[in-house]
Amino acid sequence: MQYLNFPSAYAFDIREVEGKRDILDPLRRKYVRLTPEEWVRQNLVQYLIVDLGYPRGLTSIEKGIDLHGKPFRADVIVHDRHGQAVLMAECKEPSVRISQDTFDQIAVYNRVVQARCLLVSNGLNHYCYAIDRDKEEYRFLDQVPRYEDL
């Protein structure tokens, strides 16, 4: 798979079945098709857990959300110990340029999720911003915060 811009190289369980590659998702506890976007998602989750201290048990992948009666899936949502979403991430495959549409997509999802921090990544470029609901503002961060700093 393609090299991605994360600080560590993570160990993954990848298998081939009928000519297709699958990767073991340790959070969902099952093999999923290894697409370029899934490669980004799995690396991002490992980065959050291994390097930034996000709790595995409070992190979910492909979580279903209902937005105006339509089902959507958020790529990654991390909660605090009280059940409040602290971070939501949207992943794109490396060949997809991060655009305003990507930021709009995660902002729309966040109307339901209400995370304090949003992260958009294609595995090569990562954009993270914090939301201040009281001031109705957001500010881009220089780096993805450690879990303990949220």
- The predicted model gives 31-55 an average pLDDT of 98
E-state strands within the chain: 14-17, 20-25, 30-33, 59-67, 70-79, 85-91, 117-121, 126-132, 137-140
pLDDT at 135 over 90: no
Cα torsion 30, 72, 39, 144: sign: negative
User: CB under 8 Å to 79, separation ≥6 — which residues?
Assistant: 58, 59, 60, 85, 86
In angstroms, rounded to a whole number, what is the distance separating the alpha carbons of residues 148 and 112? 24
What is the model's pLDDT at position 123?
A: 97
What pLDDT, in 10s, does the model give residues 60-98? Answer: 999 888 888 888 899 999 999 999 999 999 999 999 999
DSSP, collapsed to helix, strand or coil, labels residue 63 as strand
DSSP, collapsed to helix, strand or coil, labels residue 25 as strand
Measure the N-to-C terminal CA separation of the chain; round to a whole number of Å: 32
Q: How confident is the model at residue 101 (pLDDT cuts 50, 70, 90)?
A: very high
pLDDT at 141 over 90: yes
Mean pLDDT, the chain, rounded, equals: 94
Domains observed in the chain: 37-149 (3.90.1570.30)
- The predicted model gives 134-141 an average pLDDT of 88
- The predicted model gives 141-149 an average pLDDT of 96
> Which one, of 116, 72, 118, 69, lies nearest residue 98 by Cα?
118
